[in-house]
């Protein structure tokens, strides 16, 4: 049985900010120049893909640069968002992403410095029916 996740009242404003940024590498408004995208990705960022493979910041930025001319898929549906503060300025965001018939659970760790956000870590796990 899955646990019931709840976002604490004090984390709800952060939840609303971060929901607008996900799915992180597939948002039309965040797919601008490589420099703009790189500013949102922490220098020590890494990702674990749904395949289980680990990806470096540089690999992710290069892959996104190659896809820059491709249309961004915005029909994907997100749901079940939850946010938890891990430390001052550091937040864990979890959600479900439905891409056609493919359902994944997503986890991102975001760091806030002033008004700026940077993603530190991301993982996608395929949900088996």
Residue 19, domain CATH: 3.10.450.50
- Asked if residue 87 belongs to a domain, the reply is yes
The angle formed by the CA atoms of residues 61, 122 and 19, to the nearest 5 degrees, is 100
- Asked if residue 93 belongs to a domain, the reply is yes
- Asked if residue 105 belongs to a domain, the reply is yes
DSSP type of residue 70: S
- Asked if residue 34 belongs to a domain, the reply is yes
75: phi then psi, degrees, rounded to nearest 5: -85, -5
pLDDT (tens digit, 9 = 90+) per residue, 58-92?
999 988 888 776 665 557 889 999 999 999 999 99
**DSSP 3-state of 52:** coil
- Asked if residue 5 belongs to a domain, the reply is no
- Asked if residue 30 belongs to a domain, the reply is yes
pLDDT at 124: 93
pLDDT at 76: 81
- Asked if residue 107 belongs to a domain, the reply is yes
- Asked if residue 4 belongs to a domain, the reply is no
Domain count, the chain: 1
The residue segments making up the domain with residue 63 are 10-126
What percent of the chain has a predicted confidence (pLDDT) above 70?
Answer: 88
């Amino acid at each position: 049985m899955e646990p019931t996740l709840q976002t604490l009242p004090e984390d709800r404003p952060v939840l609303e900010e971060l929901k607008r940024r996900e799915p992180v590498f597939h948002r039309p408004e965040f797919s601008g120049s490589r420099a703009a995208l790189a500013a949102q990705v922490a220098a020590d960022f890494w990702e674990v893909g749904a395949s289980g493979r680990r990806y470096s910041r540089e690999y992710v930025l290069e892959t996104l640069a190659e896809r820059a001319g491709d249309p961004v898929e915005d029909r994907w549906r997100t749901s079940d968002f939850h946010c938890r503060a891990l430390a001052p300025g550091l937040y864990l965001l979890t959600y479900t992403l439905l891409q056609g018939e493919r359902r994944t659970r997503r986890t991102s760790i975001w760091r806030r410095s002033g008004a700026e956000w940077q993603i530190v870590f991301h993982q996608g796990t395929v949900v088996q029916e």
